[in-house]
Amino acid sequence: MDGVMRKLWKILAVLLGVLIVVLIANVAASLNARRATEDARAALVSGDGVVVEEGEWITLRPEGKLPATGLILFPGAYVEAAAYAPIARLIAARGFLVVLVKPPFSIALLDEEAPAEVMAAYPEVARWAVGGHSLGGVSAAHFAFVHPNAADALVLWAAGPSRLDDLSGRDLPVLGIYGSRDGVYPLELVPILRDLVPPDAQLVELNGGNHAQFGSYGDGTQGGDLLPSISRAEQERQVADLTAGFLELLPP
């Protein structure tokens, strides 16, 4: 009997090893496919009135005094956080602190408490919005749901809360931006989003925008997405303008 058990444990150990290798390979392949572009990396260089710092997080802010309002952003699944630097830089130039979270394996669900750590690191910031792209937006909505006194606003890029994180009864400013050419978070999901956010939430359709162009990664496409009818630079500009305008109107 002992010999049989040893053989079973050996077989289980081999199977577990194979599963781990497959998981690592899949994660590595996904990360490689969704690396930040060279344009995104160029946005990580300080200059033109924007200071960029890289460490546990990527922070972008205007030169001078630390802004009173900050935005914490989760990346989409398997997307390198640096891919959101172009939009983050445009928002920072409008007078905001923007913090790009770098979760393990670029999976926001593995680091959903990161906003609390960011907030603790910047006690001078009076107002905080949490947000994210795609599955990163799901994590941002979850943080806002479980920490109602921490998040002052929620920003969703091609994303919505899970049904377990119903925010419809909360007094929480919400901005949702979605692309008309998004094949990953299609327009059909917007009515569901509407039911899960407060009645006064701002939901904006980006004409011609798709899912991948909320960030700057890979070749600008991903499985299931549709081809955009506007350039990535134009989508970045519109998303940044909408987000910065929303942050400017947050109550003091």
**Is residue 14 assigned to a domain?**
no
164 lies in which domain range? 34-248
Within a 10 A sphere around the Cβ of 46, how many other Cβ atoms?
12
- What is the DSSP secondary structure assignment for residue 147, as one 8-state letter? -
pLDDT tens track of the chain, all 252 residues? Answer: 556 555 555 555 445 544 443 444 455 545 455 899 999 999 999 999 999 999 999 999 999 999 999 999 999 999 999 999 999 999 999 999 999 999 998 899 899 999 999 999 999 999 999 999 999 999 999 999 999 999 999 999 999 999 999 999 999 999 999 999 999 999 999 999 999 999 999 999 999 999 999 999 987 778 899 999 999 999 999 999 999 999 999 987
**Is residue 124 assigned to a domain?**
yes
**Is residue 9 assigned to a domain?**
no
- Alpha carbon dihedral 188, 189, 190, 196, in 10-degree steps, equals 150
Tally of domains in the chain? 1
CATH of the domain at 88: 3.40.50.1820
**Is residue 7 assigned to a domain?**
no
**What is the reported pLDDT for 17?**
44
Residues written for the chain: 252
* C-alpha Rg value of the chain to the nearest Å: 20
**Is residue 2 assigned to a domain?**
no
**What is the reported pLDDT for 21?**
37
Give the whole-angstrom CA distance, residue 23 versus residue 21: 5
Report the first-to-last Cα separation within the chain, whole angstroms. 71
**Is residue 12 assigned to a domain?**
no
**Is residue 49 assigned to a domain?**
yes
**Is residue 19 assigned to a domain?**
no
Strand runs labelled E in 35-126 = 50-54, 58-62, 69-74, 97-100
